[in-house]
Amino acid sequence: MDRVLKIEDIDLLQGKFHILKKPRQIFPFNTHGARTVQNNFRPVVSELARLITNLKIDQKQLDDLQYEHLKGVQKISEYIGRNTDLDFMNDEVAKVNFIRFLEEFLFKSGSGDINIVHPYLYNIGDCNTKDAVVKNLSSFSKEILIGDDPELQKIFTKIEADDVLMDLIVSSLQKLLVENKKGQKARNYQDLFPHLTKLYREDLHFMMQHNEFFLENFEVLTNYYTFMYAVQGTIQFPKFTNGNYDEATPLYFVLDWESITKKRSAASPVLGYKMVKQYASQLFAHEHVLGQLSYNILNKDNDYSEVKNYRDLVEEIDSLGSKYTEQFRNDLKDWIKAYSAWAEIETPNLGDSVEDLLKMLLEQVIEGMNDKAQEKYGSSIEHIGLGTFLKQRGSLGYLFNITHDFLMMMTAVIVKDERMPLKTLLGEFEKRGMAFDRFSIIEIVTLFNTHNLLDNKSDSGDAQYVKPIL
């Protein structure tokens, strides 16, 4: 019978590098890491906003702008000062003072980071970025996390303001933003963890109902789900067909203000970040193996773009019948031989089960790939997590971390508008990848009591309810 794995079509063999032209990507990383967004996810969400609105800065207007009033300020401030509808009655001193005020109001002192006081301002943040990491992360967020969401587009294109100053600023910026005629690119990414995508959208839509809350937390929410998406891939792919791709496997976080010992769950080599760290360097190889496996008969008309996880791929092939399973097993053996020859590495003694052959293929790809490239690709997880979701804990190294602000934000979006049992809340955190041991739960209860967020319905503590925050 015909091959199930179309190894003759795998275009890897036609070149010298680990490049596959057909399959979609799984993660928005590259072999240089993601250090440029470490502790600063703002450029990503600004670029994301422009992808959502399909707007771009008319850069020529800024490039041609010559300072006339206040040299050294951001060109955006100078531009608004010139293009506002405010009548200065030919008083140039008043205009200079207004531009100086704009600079202080819109930009953090010395950093050039824009102060997001209105959602429309996301469209002008970091408008000159050409950073590949920022571009990749923003495209991933648009395709995988957000999708086509007209309600979110309305937020970022909203020009109405609550006060005269913001109305003047937004009206001026409308003249600077133009339609991006290049439009959206073809779909580049494959969603392998839709349960996380669903939860992100659920949390985001509640957040969108509260304007100030959205402005304060859109960035960190998007950062977290991007981080957890990569974390789940890192710990599920090594399980191959036994991976859980239907729900997040919770890992243990510790609270930012807690003291930690090596006996805590978060410091465990299998319950916390140490397990992610152990497998992170394999992430690049797993993505490449899954891309190779996408060249199969399930993808019709030689369109090998759709990528499936190991479990779903094998189950769908098995559902076609034993002949297809047997053929797939033989195809895997032939492909391992072909890849080993291409990579100029020794062909191993081949196993008999599909599971064993998948593991052998991964081992060959790991050996055939550049070690530093794999290490840097995996380091992207650490780069996008440092600061809020990862914290150095002395000799214990980096551990999963949750700050006070992030805990309160996530509690708000989970509880929403009606009180929720504490046990249910903790279960909802676990759905989002965060587990807490008994020591952390005691700290959370203490914090909630401090903020008057708990209703205690019995002396035993079994009936504790968390009140809505917003």
Which position has the token pair 């102060």? 115
Task: Classify the C-alpha dihedral 381-388-243-352 as positive or negative.
Answer: positive
Mean pLDDT in residue range 17-39: 93
Give 60 or 295, the one with higher predicted confidence.
295
Could you tell me which residues come within 8 angstroms of residue 446 by beta carbon, excluding any fewer than 6 positions away? none
Give 181 or 452, the one with higher predicted confidence.
452
pLDDT above 90 (res 254) = yes
Q: Which two tokens stand for residue 19?
A: 């490049």
Q: Which two tokens stand for residue 336?
A: 């391992």
Strand, helix or coil for residue 307: coil
The predicted structure's pLDDT at residue 201:
96
pLDDT above 90 (res 247) = yes
The beta-carbon contacts of 324-327 under 8 Å, at least 24 apart in sequence, are 324/1, 324/4, 325/354, 327/1, 327/2, 327/3, 327/4
Residue 326, Cβ neighbours under 10 Å: how many?
13
Q: What gap in Å lies between CA 70 and CA 1, rounded to an integer? A: 75
Beta bridge partners of 25: 189
Q: Is beta strand 420-421 parallel, antiparallel or unpaired with respect to 254-255?
A: unpaired
Q: What gap in Å lies between CA 280 and CA 380, rounded to an integer? A: 9
Return the closest-CA partner of residue 254 out of 445, 391, 397: 391
Percent of the chain's residues with pLDDT above 70:
97
- Read off the pLDDT band of 206 (50, 70, 90): very high
**Residues 297, 300, 304, 306, Cα dihedral to 10°:** -100
Return the closest-CA partner of residue 403 out of 261, 217, 249: 217
Q: What gap in Å lies between CA 7 and CA 334, rounded to an integer? A: 8
Q: What gap in Å lies between CA 16 and CA 28, rounded to an integer? A: 23
Return the closest-CA partner of residue 314 out of 230, 229, 239: 239
Strand, helix or coil for residue 456: strand
Q: What is the pLDDT of residues 63-120, one digit of tens each?
A: 888 877 777 888 888 889 888 877 777 788 888 898 889 888 888 655 667 889 899 9
Asked if residue 6 lies in contact with residue 332, where contact means CB atoms within 8 angstroms, the answer is no
Q: Is beta strand 464-466 parallel, antiparallel or unpaired with respect to 454-456?
A: antiparallel
DSSP assignment of 440-455:
HHHHHHHHHHHTT-EE
- Read off the pLDDT band of 466 (50, 70, 90): very high
pLDDT above 60 (res 459) = no
Asked if residue 283 lies in contact with residue 230, where contact means CB atoms within 8 angstroms, the answer is yes
pLDDT above 80 (res 183) = no
- Read off the pLDDT band of 461 (50, 70, 90): low
HEC string of 369-427 equals: CCHHHHHHHHHHHHHHHECCCEEECHHHCEEEEECHHHHHHHHHHHHCCCCEEHHHHHH
Asked if residue 381 lies in contact with residue 230, where contact means CB atoms within 8 angstroms, the answer is yes
Average pLDDT, whole number, for the chain?
92
Q: What is the pLDDT of residues 361-374, one digit of tens each?
A: 999 999 999 999 99
Q: What gap in Å lies between CA 116 and CA 113, rounded to an integer? A: 9
pLDDT above 70 (res 217) = yes
- Read off the pLDDT band of 128 (50, 70, 90): low
Q: Which two tokens stand for residue 74?
A: 């951001």
For 53, 125, 177, 195, 358, the CA distances from 57, given in Å and listed in that order, are: 12, 10, 5, 35, 47
Strand, helix or coil for residue 32: coil
Could you tell me which residues come within 8 angstroms of residue 420 by beta carbon, excluding any fewer than 6 positions away? 414, 428, 465, 466
Mean pLDDT in residue range 391-419: 97
Q: What is the pLDDT of residues 299-325, one digit of tens each?
A: 988 899 999 999 999 999 999 999 999
The predicted structure's pLDDT at residue 95:
86
Q: Which two tokens stand for residue 272?
A: 């916390």
- Read off the pLDDT band of 458 (50, 70, 90): low
Return the closest-CA partner of residue 389 out of 212, 229, 216, 268: 229
3-class SS shares of the chain: helix, strand, coil, % to 5? 55, 5, 35
Rg of the chain's alpha carbons, rounded to an integer?
Answer: 26
Q: E-strand spans in 326-463?
A: 390-392, 398-402, 420-421, 434-435, 454-456
Which position has the token pair 């319905």? 457
Q: Which two tokens stand for residue 296?
A: 């199969």
CA 8, distance to chain mean position in Å, is: 34
